[in-house]
Amino acid sequence: MTLTRRQLFGSGAALAASAVAAQTLLSAPEPALAACQALPPASPTSVAMNRLSNGMRARDLAAFNALGATPDERYERWVEQQLDPAAIDDSECEQRIAATRLKIRYETVNQVRPLDLLGASTEQLWTRVSDSMLAWEERIRPYNEVRVATWIRAVYSRRQLFEVLVDFWHNHFNVRATSEGNIAATWPVYDRLIRTHALGNFRTFTEEVGKSTAMMLYLDNASNRAAGGEGGNENYARELFELHTLGSDNYLKFYDNRGLIEPVSYGEERFPRGYIDDDVYEASRCFTGWTIANGRDGRPNTGEFVFKSDWHDTYPKTVLAVRPMEGIAPAPNIAPRQAGLADGQQVFDLVCFHPGTARHLCTRLARRLIADDPPRRVIDAAVEVWMANRRAPDQIRQVLRTILLAPECRTTYGAKMRRPLEAIWAYLRATEAQLPSDEESVGGDATRGGYWGSLFYNADLTGHRLFGWDTPTGHPDTASYWANTNALLVRWNNYYNMAQSWGGNVQIDIIGQTNLNEPCAQIVERWANRLCGFPIASWIQRDLATFLAFGGDVNAPPRPTSRAPDWGAIEGVHDRVRAMVHLLAMSPDFNLR
Amino acid sequence: MSVTRREFLMGCSAALAALAAGQVSQLIFADQVRAAGSDEMLVVVFLRGGCDGLSLLSPYDDPAYRQARGELALPLTGANAPLRIDPRNSSYSTSSFGLNGKMPQLKELYDGGRLALVHACGLDDDTRSHFDAMDYIERGTPGNKATGSGWITRHLQSSGEAAGLLPALASGSATPASLLGYGGAVAMNNPRSFGISTYGRYNRAEEGYPVLKVLEGFYPGTGVNSLDVAGKRTIETIKAIRAANPGAYTPRSGVSYPTGSFGDALQTVAQVVKLEQGLRIATVDFGGWDTHESQAQSDGNGYLPDRLGMLSQGLYAFYNDLVDYQGRLTVVVMSEFGRRLGRNASNGTDHGHGNVMLVLGGAVNGGRVYGAWPGLQDLDQGQDLRITTDFRVVLGEIITRRLGNRNLGAIFPGLTAQIYQPLGLVNGADPGPISWASASDPLEIQQSPNLPRRLYLPMTGKC
């Protein structure tokens, strides 16, 4: 049977890939090796700029290059700087946030307002929406302000690693902000919580997330109470085990006898090797009464966390208890009638200090920071640091240092694909784009001027929805999910659409940053370096230079065509240069990190 | 740097060897190309979050149900009383059964013989995790969530070459795990907007779409990575859609889809079907079924009933919109698990086990409930509806008798002739003896434990 390309393609990714394999085996090994050698070159610089930051930006690259004599020296100093974000002056970015206006329009209201709810407290934000007739646009305004601030920071902040990590934790402790009006209304508080603990202690972080208004409402623990024969609400407890801490690799499903669960050791400590459904049920009982002050049943109406003792199940519970000996089930390890939050806090200790949690979290961090399939050695090293610092206030920072300074981190490149928003932000950074500020109306038309709304709408269509992922898993972090036709096409179109007045009105001056008197090949090379930070594949540069020359000489400056499509007009060349940069952003090299 | 480079090289060669092995098994599959069923279409609707099958098809007068559900038990009278059906299945004589009162459209399809129901059905695994359960089901390997391809992928691969331009459509922002590893899959929200936006004068037919032409060179589709394959597929789809020139979609007169993303996703599938681009299988996701809290009111109104109503209206609209295609159309509706028999203290239900699957189509032996009803006395883990029918039996029968693919061993590794006892859900004969040979492609079945999804290698340039 003859293998045609079409047949192979029709059979999918694995098969398209195996076209190479089959040919390799049948002829010679060179093509496969040649293919693998065409990797983008790994360098500490491109790792720092493209993977640990949201992409190349001239100012940040210059600052990086000034940090030392060798790339490794620069990289190590840069990592240390970035791990102390508070010490980095970010006033320029904060000024941009202060100067940005966001439109709000409903019924008779049409205003542009500053982002003045970003610093508000839970009670202020909760009270703001206490009127049940309040328009939905007002209700979700705080969430929209955080979205704007997040975009501005992603593009302009000098604390780039911090922004990458904030995004990581938002996805790890995912809440869909618009799943309930009161979550969106208090979103600045949840965002600040994530920012406060992003480099801190995981045990503290997890408890604060558990008590947050956002998580309480999203995973329903706000209504978790002990009630006769009916169970409490398991939603939060289950995801605490499965997603936030131990992970499903440590899920042992049902066991009739806990005495059959073998223990694992860490130093002197012993833990059951995984969790079972009973752990979820028992933990949900521990969290009964952990709720929100919503004005009902004598609670104040502040939206803050509150413990409602008459909802709490006071009987003894068994959570992650270690068997005394093989075959013998352990006695309950959570005592009856403990005061206040003690039951729940004991659960947080049990899950957060478990070695399975260390491995789950370190794997996720390494997957984000290094590769979809992260090197085992780095994970092992990170787990050691994680476990040794479980009670340290800067536990996460120490773990990050281990991962980031590992040789594998700075010498691995291109093993991850940019997710749509990351690609869009990288494009904005590389092109020195100016993000918009909304206008009340344009040319007297009050329906226009909402540029941020257009940006969000178009970006969401990629499937990468900032604070908008439905399920508590957060956005996937591997290429297998993002390498799909919709996510690719929509990201490609976003580069163009967001610069249009109807698509976001982002100011991107490609022509002003191009010397049109240079040869086509030179112009391509400069922009390729701007966007990627390294010399991209020569065949891509060649194709782009040929396009830019459009029938002319690639070693001469671009000229308008005398007939279609330019009809001799220089605007034709301008469009061609812009289209060439658009193509660069659509190239595979730009989409890897 | 050298470490990484070497690692990548090793990774490449190991992967290439694996792929080569896969190639061999693919050749074996290709020789077993099915004879019939080539224009059959399957639409898989996945209700994400764990739909409460006991509210969808309810044993509404079973005392155990009424007691455990309390206020959540469907009202016996009033506007939302269950729509009683005749199961035509003797194991269902323990109580009356009815579709949710919000689902009159499904009642009509059931009574008309086009809709079959399979209760106490699902994934025969103890997991109560949404994400594990979805992975097990969509990868078609219960107990193994690291399988590198989806069950639909293996069906398409083992059924020979897809003839059309658009064989597999995920109606939405991304492809589900059931299509994992299938480079021919297209994720699409709306056919009409599936084109490149760029500078007009370099994006015109007159000049041969110069931007797209350059882009095509970037994505040859021959590299060992998923970005390359997806890039190529995106460009091919842009061209196919451009040629088909779809306008704004108008459903058949009298057909009314529900508003919202579910109705939109169904309309996208309907439009692509009518574009006649060789669609064979489509997936539609419908989320929002994780009803831990405030599931419904005692009068039968509320969140879940509304959602069930949307499901009913959507399926009815879709089926009637495609009246010219009904004879070769099968729609299957499934969810990762059912919900617990007992109500929780938040007036919701927590994660359960057995559930109901829906099979709709012109060749469906409808108007019957299939499978054995296990009753509500003997519960799984003492709390949840048992499973008496494995979901792979339902899908397997559609795959063999409608889609004409007998390679069930490759599609569902681990499924055996002992488990696979077809229920008679659809018309049609097996295309030949069922092949239980498991896929031997290591890429499909094995994967590094640190890599949760499809194998991905760095961009490799033009190969």
Nearest to B391 by CA among B173, B112, B119: B119
- Of chain A residues 552-581, which have a CB less than 8 A from chain B? 564-566, 572, 575-576, 578-579
Residue B71: predicted pLDDT? 94
**Region A291-299 average pLDDT:** 94
* DSSP assigned state of B117: E
Residue B162: predicted pLDDT? 61
Tokens 């055996």 sit on residue: B416
Distance from CA of A266 to the nearest CA of B (A): 22
Using one digit for the tens of pLDDT, what is the confidence trace for A264-285? Answer: 999 999 999 999 999 999 999 9
Average of per-residue pLDDT values in chain A? 92
- Of chain A residues 19-38, which have a CB less than 8 A from chain B? 19-22, 24-25, 31-38
Check A230 against B345: CB less than 8 A apart: yes
A and B: number of Cβ contacts within 8 A:
370
Whole-angstrom CA distances from A373 to A32, A37, A44, A383 are 21, 19, 19, 16
Nearest to A50 by CA among A532, A476, A401: A532
Contacts of B217 in chain A (CB under 8 A): 539-540, 543
DSSP letters, A252-308, are ----S-GGGS-EEEETTEEEESSB-HHHHHHHHHHTTTEEEEES-TT--EEEEEEE-
Whether the Cβ atoms of residue B143 and residue B136 lie closer than 8 Å to each other: yes
Select from B12, B149, B159, B344 the residue whose CB has the most chain A CBs within 10 Å, as the one to mutate to test that interface: B344
B364 Cβ contact list (under 8 Å, min separation 6): B113, B114, B115, B116, B330, B425, B426, B427
Can you list the alpha helix ranges (DSSP code H) found in B260-336?
A: 261-275, 303-321
Contacts of A566 in chain B (CB under 8 A): 201
- Looking at the predicted structure, is the pLDDT value of residue A62 above 60? yes
Tell me the pLDDT band of B438, cut-offs 50, 70 and 90.
confident
Residue A228: predicted pLDDT? 64
Window from A196-205, A366-375, B4-13, B240-249 with minimum mean pLDDT: B4-13
pLDDT: is B89 or B245 the higher one?
B89
Using one digit for the tens of pLDDT, what is the confidence trace for A427-472? Answer: 999 999 999 999 999 999 999 999 999 999 999 999 999 999 999 9
Q: Does B142 touch chain A (CB under 8 A)?
A: no
Tell me the pLDDT band of B181, cut-offs 50, 70 and 90.
confident
Question: Residue A163 and residue A53: Cα distance in Å, rounded?
Answer: 8
Check B214 against A543: CB less than 8 A apart: yes
- Looking at the predicted structure, is the pLDDT value of residue B5 above 60? no
Residue A33: predicted pLDDT? 28
Tokens 């933990």 sit on residue: A283
Whether the Cβ atoms of residue B158 and residue B29 lie closer than 8 Å to each other: yes
Check A493 against B197: CB less than 8 A apart: yes
Question: Residue A578 and residue A496: Cα distance in Å, rounded?
Answer: 9
Check A489 against B342: CB less than 8 A apart: no
- Looking at the predicted structure, is the pLDDT value of residue B444 above 70? no
Select from A4, A6, A7, A15 the residue whose CB has the most chain B CBs within 10 Å, as the one to mutate to test that interface: A15
At residue A274, what is the residue type? G
Contacts of A234 in chain B (CB under 8 A): 292, 344, 350-351
Please give the share of chain B, as a percent, with pLDDT higher than 90: 78
CA angle B89, B95, B100 (to 5 degrees): 90
Minimum-distance CB partner of B197 among A17, A496, A537: A496
**Region A108-127 average pLDDT:** 98
Average of per-residue pLDDT values in chain B? 87
Residue B146: predicted pLDDT? 83
Bridge partners for B284 per DSSP: B45, B171
Residue A9: predicted pLDDT? 28
Helix B226-244 crosses helix A13-26 at what angle (to 10 degrees)?
Answer: 120
**Region A314-340 average pLDDT:** 97
- Of chain A residues 194-213, which have a CB less than 8 A from chain B? none
Peptide bond before residue B452 is cis, with ω within 30 degrees of 0: no
H or E stretch covering B85: strand B83-85
> In terms of DSSP bridges, do strands B115-122 and B368-370 run parallel, antiparallel, or are they unpaired?
parallel
Helix A187-197 crosses helix A202-211 at what angle (to 10 degrees)?
Answer: 170
Contacts of B232 in chain A (CB under 8 A): 9, 16
Nearest to B225 by CA among B392, B16, B444, B410: B16
* DSSP assigned state of B359: E
Can you list the alpha helix ranges (DSSP code H) found in B176-225?
A: 210-218
Instruction: Return the structure tokens found at A482.
Output: 């993002």
DSSP 3-state assignment of B283?
strand
Residue B272: predicted pLDDT? 96
Tell me the pLDDT band of B225, cut-offs 50, 70 and 90.
confident
Nearest to B413 by CA among B389, B388, B443, B436: B436
Contacts of B303 in chain A (CB under 8 A): none
Whether the Cβ atoms of residue A170 and residue A194 lie closer than 8 Å to each other: yes
Boundaries of every domain in chain A: 1-37, 511-591
Using one digit for the tens of pLDDT, what is the confidence trace for A348-365? Answer: 999 999 999 999 999 999
Using one digit for the tens of pLDDT, what is the confidence trace for A210-219? Answer: 999 999 999 9
CA angle B195, B197, B199 (to 5 degrees): 135
Select from A313, A484, A542 the residue whose CB has the most chain B CBs within 10 Å, as the one to mutate to test that interface: A484
Instruction: Return the structure tokens found at A140.
Output: 């979700």
This complex has an ipTM of 0.91
The counts of H helices and E strands in chain A are 30, 6
Is the backbone of residue A375 left (phi > 0), alpha (psi -120 to 50) or beta? Answer: beta
Using one digit for the tens of pLDDT, what is the confidence trace for B316-337? Answer: 999 999 999 999 999 999 999 9
Buried b / exposed e along A423-435 (16+ C-beta atoms within 10 A): bbbbbbbbbbbeb
Whether the Cβ atoms of residue B150 and residue B177 lie closer than 8 Å to each other: yes
- Which of A316-320, B6-10, B18-22, B154-158 has the highest average model confidence (pLDDT)? A316-320
Check A492 against B196: CB less than 8 A apart: yes
Tokens 């459904």 sit on residue: A277
Whether the Cβ atoms of residue A475 and residue A464 lie closer than 8 Å to each other: yes
Instruction: Return the structure tokens found at A28.
Output: 């010679």
Nearest to A420 by CA among A470, A486, A355, A365: A486
Check B350 against A233: CB less than 8 A apart: yes
Residue A1: predicted pLDDT? 28
Q: Does B436 touch chain A (CB under 8 A)?
A: no
User: What is the chain A residue with the closest CA to B8?
Assistant: A36
Nearest to B40 by CA among B267, B363, B424: B363
Question: Residue A49 and residue A342: Cα distance in Å, rounded?
Answer: 44
pLDDT: is A37 or B57 the higher one?
B57
At residue B166, what is the residue type? L
Whether the Cβ atoms of residue A213 and residue A188 lie closer than 8 Å to each other: no
Peptide bond before residue A565 is cis, with ω within 30 degrees of 0: yes
Question: Residue A166 and residue A197: Cα distance in Å, rounded?
Answer: 9
**Region A137-150 average pLDDT:** 98
Q: Beta strands of A22-180 (E only): which ranges?
A: 101-106, 109-114
Buried b / exposed e along B8-36 (16+ C-beta atoms within 10 A): beebbbebbebbbbbbebbeebbebebee
A344 Cβ contact list (under 8 Å, min separation 6): A207, A210, A286, A287, A290
Instruction: Return the structure tokens found at A186.
Output: 């208090």
Residue B165: predicted pLDDT? 81
pLDDT: is A8 or B171 the higher one?
B171
Question: Residue A7 and residue A5: Cα distance in Å, rounded?
Answer: 5
Question: Residue A520 and residue A517: Cα distance in Å, rounded?
Answer: 9
Whether the Cβ atoms of residue A146 and residue A467 lie closer than 8 Å to each other: yes
Check A42 against B5: CB less than 8 A apart: yes
Check B450 against A363: CB less than 8 A apart: yes
Select from B28, B166, B207, B224 the residue whose CB has the most chain A CBs within 10 Å, as the one to mutate to test that interface: B224
**Region B140-169 average pLDDT:** 86
Using one digit for the tens of pLDDT, what is the confidence trace for A506-544? Answer: 999 999 999 999 999 999 999 999 999 988 888 899 999
- Looking at the predicted structure, is the pLDDT value of residue B460 above 50? no
- The answer to whether the Cα torsion of A167, A168, A169, A171 is positive or negative is positive
Nearest to A532 by CA among A420, A409, A431, A405: A431
DSSP 3-state assignment of B361?
strand
Tell me the pLDDT band of B161, cut-offs 50, 70 and 90.
low
- Of chain A residues 51-110, which have a CB less than 8 A from chain B? none
User: What is the chain A residue with the closest CA to B14?
Assistant: A21
Q: Does A415 touch chain B (CB under 8 A)?
A: yes
User: What is the chain A residue with the closest CA to B234?
Assistant: A485
User: How big is chain B by its Cα radius of gyration, in Å?
Assistant: 23
Check B229 against A17: CB less than 8 A apart: yes
Question: Residue B297 and residue B299: Cα distance in Å, rounded?
Answer: 5
Minimum-distance CB partner of A25 among B9, B20, B167: B20
Residue B369: predicted pLDDT? 98
Whether the Cβ atoms of residue A120 and residue A190 lie closer than 8 Å to each other: no
- Of chain B residues 179-238, which have a CB less than 8 A from chain A? 180-189, 194, 196-202, 204, 206-207, 210-211, 214-215, 217-219, 221-234, 237-238
Nearest to B397 by CA among B370, B418, B373, B428: B428
pLDDT: is B389 or B182 the higher one?
B389
- Looking at the predicted structure, is the pLDDT value of residue B10 above 80? no
Tokens 């290439």 sit on residue: B16
Check A223 against B345: CB less than 8 A apart: yes
Residue B224: predicted pLDDT? 61
User: What is the chain A residue with the closest CA to B173?
Assistant: A463
Residue B413: predicted pLDDT? 93
Instruction: Return the structure tokens found at A576.
Output: 């061609």
User: What is the chain B residue with the closest CA to A583?
Assistant: B215
